[in-house]
Structure 1
Amino acid sequence: MIKLSSIFILLLMTPLLVFSQEVNNFTTVMTNTTEVRIPGAWTQLNSIDDSGQTYLKNEENVIIAVAKNPKKAYPFYKSLASDFENVQEFYKWDSDYRIELKQKTDKLKENSKLEYIIWKFNDGKMDNIFLFGSVNGNFLNLLVFTDKWNEEEKVKFLENLYKLNR
């Protein structure tokens, strides 16, 4: 009877074990400073030289962009400010630019301990959700642009991606 119960429990657990595995495949993108790892399979679309952003898409046609640039390359950077204060300046600098373009912006979340800000702007088509963070003397700039995921899914993806590359 114990053997039959063990087999039954194993059969019930098999789908859980199969479907709860971690993502083991990553796409690696070379930025201006170091590599950024992205969970899953992503195809590179293009790169923009002046911002250092590399755009990618996955099989769902979700578009993301990644950039990792030295903080000192930005005009607002203050060497005596904390990492998080510089992230706040980065957010202010870019969101002010979006406002000048008459785009609506909104800060969604910030984490001073992990040194990031998540915010969005609407380009007239849909929300673009960014995470600006601080990593070893660099700014990590992450973007999700899609109507396939809701805002919560985009934020979770950005936070996970940031933590993976910290």
Structure 2
Amino acid sequence: MKKQLVASLILGLSSFATFSQACKTEVETVTTKYYRGIASCHAYVNGTFHRVEKYIPQTTQSRIYIGDWIPNPTTHRREYATCFANVPFSHSDTQIIRVKYCKDKVLVEARGISPEQAKGFLRQRGATEIGGCRPDFTDQPMHFICAGYIVDWIKQ
């Protein structure tokens, strides 16, 4: 019994170790847009629209949430008005970078009324390596669960 357990562990570990992670490096051009300046929008407060303005330092966001205190003439208090505003475009920066991609495996499972149907579902999900199937006795009618791997390049 112990020999069988040791043999199955060795076989299991060897099948796990057979997948060596392949990696590649690619050169990509990345352009970043920068925005800066006075952003303004109109906020509806006390039945009227009020212009809200704010200077926005350099950011990579083209739209931003801004707010300002607006005086209310009837209550003689100030109310805070907020709105989304477009930030003026400032400039863009282009860089050439090296990006590392590695192949990675993701284990997926699918259920079907037959092993063929479950394997078909795995293929629809993009599984390139399809393993075995097992019956699921907890369901009535009985279903089959099949396992597979999706192998894809993942940006590191």
Shorter-chain TM-score: which interval? under 0.3
Instruction: Identify, as 1 or 2, the structure richer in helix.
Output: 1
TM-score between the two structures when normalised by the length of structure 2: 0.24
Larger Rg: 2
Instruction: Identify, as 1 or 2, the structure richer in strand.
Output: 2
TM-score between the two structures when normalised by the length of structure 1: 0.23
